[in-house]
Amino acid sequence: MATLISHSPAETEAVGERLGRTIETGWVVGVAGELGAGKTQLVKGFARGLGVSERITSPTFALVNEYAGGRLPLFHLDLYRLETRQQIITAGLEPYFHPSGVTIVEWAERWFDTSADSAQSRPAKLLWVQMKTLSETSRQITYEDIGA
């Protein structure tokens, strides 16, 4: 597990960019944190690390944005408007949890149970990112591989 402190949106994007440069096909990145914690900033950097040149926006209303312009396809999901696993299933989002590229899921705690006894219900390649607001500009970012 790694923990670091970001002091600006640009630093948060830089963390995402470093992760995006090294990620491989088949990974799901679950990003959890309260509203305004910087989840989308992290995704913007991640996309840049993958070489995606398109403008990255949060798919809060669309639920998923797909980007094909980088070294791997990027699927960006936002589960904010969905409150239960059943709503996620009904929305047809399950295939994105076994990607042919990389999937990043904002509000991932609404789908994934990160407790040790739930490992069977998680993707084999799951990078869990927890973001916590420390101040108006500072964020604590903790990440670890908790795949099945």
More confidently predicted of 98 and 48: 48
Band (112; pLDDT cuts 50, 70, 90):
confident
For the chain, the domains span 2-145
Cα distance between residue 66 and residue 107, in whole Å: 17
Q: Judge whether residue 110 has pLDDT over 90.
A: no
**Per-residue pLDDT tens over the stretch 113-139:** 665 545 556 778 999 999 999 999 999
CATH class of 2-145: alpha beta
Q: Judge whether residue 65 has pLDDT over 60.
A: yes
Three-state SS for the chain is CEEEEECCHHHHHHHHHHHHHHCCCCCEEEEECCCCCCHHHHHHHHHHHHCCCCCCCCCCCCCEEEECCCCCCEEEEECCCCCCHHHHHHCCCHHHHCCCCEEEEECHHHCCCCCHHHHHHCCCCEEEEEEEECCCCCEEEEEEECCC
For residue 113, the model assigns a pLDDT of 66
For residue 7, what are the contacts with CB-CB under 8 A and spacing of at least 6? Answer: 137, 138
Cα–Cα nearest to 45, from 80, 82, 8: 8
Q: Judge whether residue 68 has pLDDT over 70.
A: yes
Cα distance between residue 74 and residue 128, in whole Å: 17
For residue 121, the model assigns a pLDDT of 60
